[in-house]
Structure 1
Amino acid sequence: MNTEEMIAACEERLRLAQLKSDIDELSILIDEKLIFLALDGSVVGKADDLNLHRSPDFRIAKMEVIDRRINIFDGTAVVNTLMDASAHFGDKKQNEKIRYIRVWHKFSSDWRIISGSMRAESA
């Protein structure tokens, strides 16, 4: 498996973990030093992301990849993905096309997300 295929596999693991709010898998894929720009403009870290997935008021219902581009550098990968997404925040449902940019870094034995951002795409 080449590096681009490994990153695509990590992205799929992440997508499935987010859909299931699988804290154990998310903990493996997200680095402790994560810096991520959320939809609301706040900067969050790993603990914030895991706490969101632990919340009974939050559930991702759909994350379907529309487009994905992967650029590989020495020990780092940048992924730009457009998703058709749907999530529940309490009794409120949100459907949007969301653009994610994630930076993966290769540590000794695994790839983890170290940074990223997301934004809603205009219709």
Structure 2
Amino acid sequence: MTTPIETAVQNAEEALRSAMLRSDVDALDHLLAPTLFFTNHLGLIVSKEEDLDAHASGALKIDEIVPSEMRITSLCDTVATVSVRVSLAGSYGGEPASGDFRFTRVWALSESGHWQVVTAHATLTQ
């Protein structure tokens, strides 16, 4: 049975997917914690500001994100982890970029009562 926290985080995951597809910087700003750090599939650490800038400038354009194999674990009332496999297609710096990735995200309930990604990691899958 799905808990209310798992449902809320699943909804936040869908909002994140939608915002990334639209490069909706305002929505991403709401969904990403100020202290976010994201370790990408190349091992580079990306800050919230860098991620938002990539979307705003058009350097990062995501055309398709197809999630599968999602697992959500509620750690407490205010923190949950997500592991999700995605098929992703788009471009970075004008060059095509696509592949299958596994993302691990930690979501935390903000002081204002909405879920935000506080850290994330991506791995290229085979």
Q: What's the TM-score once normalised by structure 2's chain length?
A: 0.91
The one-letter code matched in structure 2 to 1:16 is S
Q: State the 1:40 CA deviation.
A: 1.9
Q: Using the TM superposition, name which of 20-29 and 101-110 deviates more.
A: 101-110
Unpaired runs of 5+ residues, structure 1, are none
Give the equivalent residue in structure 2 for 1:79.
82
Give the equivalent residue in structure 2 for 1:111.
115
Alpha-carbon separation, structure 2, partners of 1:42 and 1:91: 19
Q: C-alpha deviations, 1:87-114, integer Å up to 9, x for none?
A: 1124421220011000001123111110
Specify which of 109, 118, 124 is matched with residue 120 of structure 1. 124
Unpaired runs of 5+ residues, structure 2, are none
Q: Using the TM superposition, name which of 107-116 and 16-25 deviates more.
A: 107-116
- Fraction of identical pairs, as percent: 26
Find the residue that maps to 1:65 and give its secondary structure.
strand
Q: How does 1:33-44 map to 2 (within 5 A)?
A: 33-44=35-46
- Over the aligned positions, Cα root-mean-square deviation in angstroms equals 1.3
Q: State the 1:31 CA deviation.
A: 0.4
Find the residue that maps to 1:40 and give its secondary structure.
coil
Alpha-carbon separation, structure 2, partners of 1:22 and 1:91: 19
Q: C-alpha deviations, 1:24-63, integer Å up to 9, x for none?
A: 0000000000121012211111101101111223210110
Give the equivalent residue in structure 2 for 1:10.
12
Find the residue that maps to 1:69 and give its secondary structure.
strand
Alpha-carbon separation, structure 2, partners of 1:57 and 1:36: 17
Alpha-carbon separation, structure 2, partners of 1:100 and 1:27: 19
The one-letter code matched in structure 2 to 1:65 is P
Alpha-carbon separation, structure 1, partners of 2:59 and 2:44: 19
Residues 110 and 62 of structure 1: is their aligned pair in 2 closer, same or farther, counting only changes over 3 Å? same
Alpha-carbon separation, structure 1, partners of 2:7 and 2:114: 14
Task: Spell out structure 1 runs of 4+ moving beyond 3 A.
Answer: none
